[in-house]
Each structure stands twice: as structure tokens, then as C-alpha cells.
Chain A
Amino acid sequence: MILLRTLGLMLVFLMASLLPSNAAEADLRAVIAKFATGSGFSATEAVVRELAATGDPLVERPLAALAEGNLYIRKDDSAVFVGNEAGDSVTLLDPLSGESAGDAAKADITKIKVNNTLRRVIRDALGTLTLRAKDPAVRIAAADTMFKTPDAANIEPLDAAIAAETDAKVKALFEQARAASVLVSDKPEADKLAAIALIGARGDRDALSLLTSVEANAQGAVKDAASAAIASINSSLALWDAGQNIWYGISLGSVLLLAAIGLAITFGVMGVINMAHGEMVMLGAYTTFVVQQVIRTSFPGLFDWSLVIALPLAFLVAASIGLIIERGVIRFLYGRPLETLLATWGVSLVLQQAVRSIFGPTNQEVGNPSWMSGSFDVGQLAITWNRLWILVFALTVFGVLLYVMKRTPWGLQMRAVTANRRMAASMGIRTPWVDALTFALGSGIAGIAGVALSQIDNVSPNLGRGYIIDSFMVVVFGGVGNLWGTLVGAFSLGIVNKVLEPYAGAVLGKIVVLVLIILFIQKRPRGLFALKGRAVEA
């Protein structure tokens, strides 16, 4: 056994020596070998510092392993390896190349001990090292770490890194990290003031916390400069906060727009009060759920496409249910809006209970495809991908709908029927069909809204309930029969709601908005963009 292993090792060494390895690597191996010769933490620390001083990215692997306690010395030849524990044996890897170097029993190797001091030294060393990493993301992360944990010792490696850096964005981050380190060093006041100016310009929360600690510890001009910088950061952060709230508001507005846009067709254009509108949204969300279930069990590779597949299906499901409702109930009730309201409420109860009976009363899990997960930053704004996609989606749906209404023959017929049903009928338009298809269109749009809302809301039989009042508020506020009004209504309600939230809290903010709308309707009973004239009041 041992013979075999030795043979194997020799083979490895042979191969290693055959591989194109430069002189630097040999030097590194010599330094790494010192881990075995010295003893005690201070000796280890010296080796770490020596390795770090080489500035070679290759030393990252052994140092990282050391920090995690995974660096071992083989007892019989004092060779140093990175080891992965597997049961009672350890898989050994070459510390620089990471190639496998066979297994060893635990008894045959010694773990190089580390303590917290040593770990910090290693971390700092690694931070310095990663300043030279090839991947800019790694360099940025390193700069970020250094900025958050400033240390006078970082100044030198940072200076070197700044000199070598070609990427302007990374360079700026390095300079900020350096400035942070300058503030904790004993550099002259002028340097510190320059550093504060640099950090103040960065203007984010990390800069704020750093400057706050500086302000607490420093005196004189530095303290004053820090206070001034803090004040300016605070005011700019307040602006960003307002921006963030507006973004949340826009995002809520896009959700409201999606929920209300189908209603703008059925209520706004046709004048039909569809209380089952929310249930159409719910059906769309459940369609998404079913599509994802099928994909999960049968075609897991298609998961990222689940929403794209669900969109047309949700439209069809909701539109056909809408068609059935229109043909079965609503068409008998035209001109009797209050009865329509009651009948469609009944339909909504039936749909809710049907979904509850089929899928159960609990929330169903609908997953986010990868392109809808995560977030990115714009300045100090955090923007999540799913919210952004929903905004894009809502605006697209709006645009398509506007096009259909204004530019297609069907849209023309729809508008003709709503303007003057009898006249339209006598001009050969099949008004019952236009009614049915318009209602189906409104319902179908509610269905695809459900696909989008399944990404940010709980998919349960009660999903629609939560949206129905809001949707009606949007349509009524914007002005019935006016798609642009719905757009403006949705976004202004969304933004007002979110801007109020920090002051009044979520629930109270919502109440305030409801009360404001109620008051607004008193003032302008027909909404923001109402039609005027005799015909309207007749």
C-alpha cells in the first residue's frame, strides 16, 4: 500500500516537475515548505507574511486553506498539502496547483494550527492578494472589504494596486479603500482631509458609517470635515431614499396597472362591473402554478421558460372563463350595472371556492425563474429584477392594448359599440360578439396579470380579493373609459401610497389613500380624465 502511494506520489512530483513551472513557483514552494520547519503561531505568521509579500495570486489557495484549518504537514516527509477531510482519511491536494496528491490517514498528517490573530493576518493578506486578481469582480470585492475594515497596513499594497490598476472603476474603489485606511493611520492632517473628501464623494451608507466612527474619534479640522461630509451624505442619502420610495411606488403602480388594466376594458370601456375580475387574476396565477408543476415533474430544463409558456395559457384560461361569464350571465344584465355587480360577485365566490376545492386553501409555491431573481444597484437604489420585469411587462401590455383599441378594426368596433350600441348594430357590427370578445379580452388581460403577480404575491384562492378594490379605485380615479387615465391613476396611486408609507406606516398609508380617493371622487365624480358634455350626463 505504502509503496504504491509512494510510487504515485513520485509520479505526481515527476509530472509536476515536467509541467512548465516557472522559477517563481519554485520560490513559493520553498516558502510554503517553511510551514513545516517553524513551530508556533508566530512562526506561521512570519511565513504567511512572507507569502503575502510575494504578491503572487497563486498563494491564495494555501492561505485560504490555512485560514480554514485545512493546511496539513505530512509527518514522514514534511511536505505541505491542502487537505479535504473524508471520513478518517484526508484527501491531499497540492497547495499551489490543487492537483490531487492521494490520500493519507489522519494519523499520518498534522494540521497547521491557526488562531484568531493569525486568521486576521491571513484575511488581510488575502485582501491584498485579491487586489491583483484577474477577475475585476474579485478585485472590487477586495476593495470593498478593505473599505469596510480599514487598516494602516493596507495603504502600501493599495498604493501598489492603484499604480497597477487599469480599470478606472476599480481604481476609484481602490482609492476610496486607501482613503479609508489613511483615516485610521497616522498620516498628516492634510492627507486625512483629502481622504474625507474622497469618502464623502462616495456618499453611500458604508461611507457614512466610516465617517461617523472617524467623527467620534478625531479632533479639530478632521472632525469638522467628517461632520460636514456626514451632513452632505445624509442629505444626498435622503434624496436617494426618496428615489427608492418612488421606485417602490412605480413598482406598486405597475402592479396596480396590471391588475386594473383588464378592468379598464370591462368597466371602463364596456361599463360592466366585473367583481370577478380579481378571480381572473387568480386564475392566471394558478395557471402559472400548474405550468410550473408540469415543468418541474416532466421538463425541468424548461423552468426558465415557465412564465413565457404560462402567459398565453393564462390568457386563454381567463379569457374563456370570461367568455362563459359574459355569455352565461352578463349579457342578460346589460344596462343594469348594479345587478351585474351582484351577479359577478356570485361568480367570484363560485370561482374562489372551485379553486379552493381543487388546489386546497393554502398558498401554492410559484418559483421565480433565474432571470427574475436577484437585484442590481443604480447609485444607491436597489432594484430587483422581478419588479423591473413586471414594470416592463405592465407597460408592454398597456402599449399593446392601446394599439389594439386605437389601431385595429376590432378596437374600432369595440369603441363604436360602446359609443352607440344601436348605431353600431345597424352598421352591421355584431354587437353581441363584440361584447363577448371585449369581455374575454379584459378577462384574458387579467389572466396574464395573474402570471406576473404570481411572482410577487402569494398564490392562494384569495389572491384576487386583495386586488379588486384597488383596481376599481385605479379605474375610477383615472377616469372611466380612458386607458391613459388608468395608467396615470395606477402610477400616481402607487407612488402616493409608497411615499406616504414611511410617515404613516403601510396600513395607515393605505387608509389615507383610500380616504383621499373617496374625497377625490366627491370632487370629480368621473375621475381625473373624465369626458364632459351632455352625452355623459344623459
Chain B
Amino acid sequence: MSKSNTILYLDGVSVSFDGFRAINNLSLVLDKGEMRAIIGPNGAGKTTMMDIVTGKTRPDEGEVFFDGQVDLTRHDEAEIAMMGIGRKFQKPTVFESHSVEDNLMLALKGPRSIFPALFHRRSAAEARQIDDILGVIRLGDKRHDLAANLSHGQKQWLEIGMLLAQDPKLLLVDEPVAGMTDAETEETARLLKDIARDHSVIVVEHDMHFVRELGVKVTCLHEGSVLSEGTLDFVSADERVVEVYLGR
């Protein structure tokens, strides 16, 4: 396999916690501009894989490359985020004591050191960007509300909005539609497909309708390695996948 045209390249990655192998010889390749859905039962290692890519967890062995050449195992969270990998958590994490607008402002792409932040004044361009994102995530009328007061679905959207503000090359989205209504789910699928037009995206999701809606290649993880890969129809026809999901 060549790394040259990939946005994310994992090869033979393993990590264990106190003897428990959370990720076991995992290999996964994501092409530039691709959107991929990852499914798998609880404990399959989906979140740990994201932890490894974003620098939160160091793998015991294996290669993790971003954009074909950057070895991600040598960098920490902040550096990886600055390179252009954005992450949405399983449980929506937004800054609850800040307004929606301030949440986006903190996420907005730009210098990340202390003194510019200390003397920062919001420019017209930034204000416009925030307005745009607020439009996309449909929180324009809530811009001055505290994030704590948003509904669960709105927090999910705000977090996606923060990802957009970061303008990363690769987005890792962990369970974006958990706790959403059907209408919201559809809306989110449309939004993600929109985003995928000029970004690479990995979506972890349990909701099969949503995955079908996305209509992209699916990877099924089980016990820390890839069980099956292909279209959703192919994967869901795979006997092993059925076995893992339904039991014998």
C-alpha cells in the first residue's frame, strides 16, 4: 500500500491497557476527500482508534500517518489539531459556560498562542465566518445563549459547527446523531455529506439508517481490528458481521 495519496494511514496498530488489547493489529486507510463510516459493537475499539489518531493515546506498536507523511505518534493533541484533524466527541463536549458564539470563536482557525488571544479583537472577517457557520448549523437565533442551555441535538450541531470553524482537513465524528430526532438525523446526514465535499471524514455511528443515508464505504471493527470492509450492503451481508452483532 502506498501512503502517498492517503489522508490517514494506519498500519498494524496495537494498544493495550493493563493487558486488555483495545486495538489489535488494526490497519485502515482513508483516501483524500473520502468519507468513511465505521461501525462495530461496543468495545470494538472505535473510540480508542480516534484517541490514537488525535494523539490522546500512544499506540504500543504500528504506524499512524496523516496526509501521507506526518507520523502522528510523534505529536500531541494540540499539534495534531493544528495540522488539521478535528474531532467531535461521542458525548457532546462544548464550553457550557460560554455562549454559542463564543464557542465558535474559540474554535475558529487562527493563531493559537496566548498573547494574540489576550489582545484579540474580533475582525469583520471572523464575524462573517461565525455568521456563516451559525447559518449552517441553524443556531443563528441562539448565538447569545449559553451552550449549557442547548438541547442535546443542538449541542451536537454546535460541536459540528466548531469542527467547521476549525476548518480541518480530516474530521473525526463520533456518533453525531445520538439522541437526535429522525428529522434532525436526516438533516445531519445532509450536513455531513455537504462537509465531505471538500473534507475527508470518518464517521463512527451505530444508527444504520443514518449510515445508509450517508451512502459511503463502511468499515466494521471488532475486538480492535477490521472485521469487514465495503459497501453497507456487502458488510451487512457478511456472516461474521451478523454474528458479531446478533450473537450466535
Report A-B touching, CB under 8 Å: yes
Bound form: Cα–Cα A126–B124 in Å: 108
| A532 partner residues in chain B, CB cutoff 8 A | 17-18
| B48 partner residues in chain A, CB cutoff 8 A | 534
Contacting pair A534 B22 (CB below 8 A): yes
What distance in Å separates the Cβ of B128 from its nearest Cβ neighbour in chain A? 37
Judged by a CB distance under 8 angstroms, whether B47 is at the interface is: yes
Judged by a CB distance under 8 angstroms, whether B20 is at the interface is: yes
Judged by a CB distance under 8 angstroms, whether A400 is at the interface is: no
Q: Chain A interface (Cβ within 8 Å of chain B)? A: 531-534, 537
Identify the 5 closest CB pairs spanning chains A and B, nearest first.
A533-B17, A532-B17, A532-B18, A533-B18, A534-B48
Bound form: Cα–Cα A534–B16 in Å: 10
Judged by a CB distance under 8 angstroms, whether B51 is at the interface is: yes
| A534 partner residues in chain B, CB cutoff 8 A | 17, 22, 47-48, 51, 57
A sample of 8 more A-B contacts (CB under 8 A), given A534-B22, A534-B48, is: A531-B18, A532-B17, A533-B18, A533-B20, A533-B22, A534-B47, A534-B51, A534-B57
B123-173 at interface with A (beta carbon < 8 Å): none
Bound form: Cα–Cα A533–B43 in Å: 13
B22-50 at interface with A (beta carbon < 8 Å): 22, 47-48
Bound form: Cα–Cα A92–B70 in Å: 105
Task: Give 14 A-B contacts (CB < 8 Å), ordered by A residue.
Answer: A531-B18, A532-B17, A532-B18, A533-B17, A533-B18, A533-B20, A533-B22, A534-B17, A534-B22, A534-B47, A534-B48, A534-B51, A534-B57, A537-B56
| A537 partner residues in chain B, CB cutoff 8 A | 56
What distance in Å separates the Cβ of A496 from its nearest Cβ neighbour in chain B? 27
What distance in Å separates the Cβ of B80 from its nearest Cβ neighbour in chain A? 17
| B20 partner residues in chain A, CB cutoff 8 A | 533
| Nearest A residue (CB) for B17 | A533
| B22 partner residues in chain A, CB cutoff 8 A | 533-534
Q: Chain B interface (Cβ within 8 Å of chain A)? A: 17-18, 20, 22, 47-48, 51, 56-57
Bound form: Cα–Cα A534–B57 in Å: 9
Bound form: Cα–Cα A114–B114 in Å: 92
| B47 partner residues in chain A, CB cutoff 8 A | 534
Bound form: Cα–Cα A537–B57 in Å: 10
Q: Chain B: interface secondary structure?
A: mixed
What distance in Å separates the Cβ of B240 from its nearest Cβ neighbour in chain A? 25
Bound form: Cα–Cα A532–B15 in Å: 11
| B51 partner residues in chain A, CB cutoff 8 A | 534
Bound form: Cα–Cα A534–B51 in Å: 9
Bound form: Cα–Cα A387–B224 in Å: 53
What distance in Å separates the Cβ of A422 from its nearest Cβ neighbour in chain B? 15
| A533 partner residues in chain B, CB cutoff 8 A | 17-18, 20, 22
What distance in Å separates the Cβ of B170 from its nearest Cβ neighbour in chain A? 22
Bound form: Cα–Cα A532–B21 in Å: 12
Bound form: Cα–Cα A533–B57 in Å: 9
What distance in Å separates the Cβ of B89 from its nearest Cβ neighbour in chain A? 11
Bound form: Cα–Cα A531–B17 in Å: 9
Bound form: Cα–Cα A126–B51 in Å: 85
What distance in Å separates the Cβ of B47 from its nearest Cβ neighbour in chain A? 7
| Nearest A residue (CB) for B47 | A534
What distance in Å separates the Cβ of A151 from its nearest Cβ neighbour in chain B? 70
Bound form: Cα–Cα A532–B18 in Å: 6
Bound form: Cα–Cα A531–B22 in Å: 15
What distance in Å separates the Cβ of B74 from its nearest Cβ neighbour in chain A? 19
Bound form: Cα–Cα A197–B48 in Å: 70
| Nearest B residue (CB) for A537 | B56
What distance in Å separates the Cβ of A443 from its nearest Cβ neighbour in chain B? 31
| B17 partner residues in chain A, CB cutoff 8 A | 532-534
Bound form: Cα–Cα A154–B132 in Å: 108
| A531 partner residues in chain B, CB cutoff 8 A | 18
Bound form: Cα–Cα A4–B22 in Å: 106
Bound form: Cα–Cα A532–B57 in Å: 11
What distance in Å separates the Cβ of A335 from its nearest Cβ neighbour in chain B? 16
Bound form: Cα–Cα A482–B197 in Å: 50
Bound form: Cα–Cα A533–B18 in Å: 7
| Nearest A residue (CB) for B91 | A538
Bound form: Cα–Cα A534–B20 in Å: 11
What distance in Å separates the Cβ of A294 from its nearest Cβ neighbour in chain B? 51
Bound form: Cα–Cα A419–B17 in Å: 16
| Nearest B residue (CB) for A531 | B18
Bound form: Cα–Cα A375–B194 in Å: 83
What distance in Å separates the Cβ of A523 from its nearest Cβ neighbour in chain B? 15
What distance in Å separates the Cβ of A73 from its nearest Cβ neighbour in chain B? 89
Bound form: Cα–Cα A531–B47 in Å: 19
| B57 partner residues in chain A, CB cutoff 8 A | 534
Bound form: Cα–Cα A203–B12 in Å: 63
Bound form: Cα–Cα A441–B95 in Å: 39
Bound form: Cα–Cα A534–B224 in Å: 14
What distance in Å separates the Cβ of A297 from its nearest Cβ neighbour in chain B? 57
| B56 partner residues in chain A, CB cutoff 8 A | 537
| Nearest A residue (CB) for B18 | A532
| Nearest A residue (CB) for B57 | A534
Bound form: Cα–Cα A532–B60 in Å: 13
A531, A534, A537 — most chain B CB neighbours (10 Å): A534
What distance in Å separates the Cβ of A537 from its nearest Cβ neighbour in chain B? 8
What distance in Å separates the Cβ of A300 from its nearest Cβ neighbour in chain B? 56
B18, B47, B48, B51 — most chain A CB neighbours (10 Å): B18
| B18 partner residues in chain A, CB cutoff 8 A | 531-533
What distance in Å separates the Cβ of B13 from its nearest Cβ neighbour in chain A? 16
What distance in Å separates the Cβ of B150 from its nearest Cβ neighbour in chain A? 22
| Nearest B residue (CB) for A530 | B18
Bound form: Cα–Cα A537–B77 in Å: 14
Bound form: Cα–Cα A531–B56 in Å: 16
Bound form: Cα–Cα A537–B56 in Å: 10
| Nearest B residue (CB) for A535 | B17
What distance in Å separates the Cβ of A531 from its nearest Cβ neighbour in chain B? 7
| Nearest B residue (CB) for A533 | B17
Bound form: Cα–Cα A534–B46 in Å: 12
What distance in Å separates the Cβ of B223 from its nearest Cβ neighbour in chain A? 15
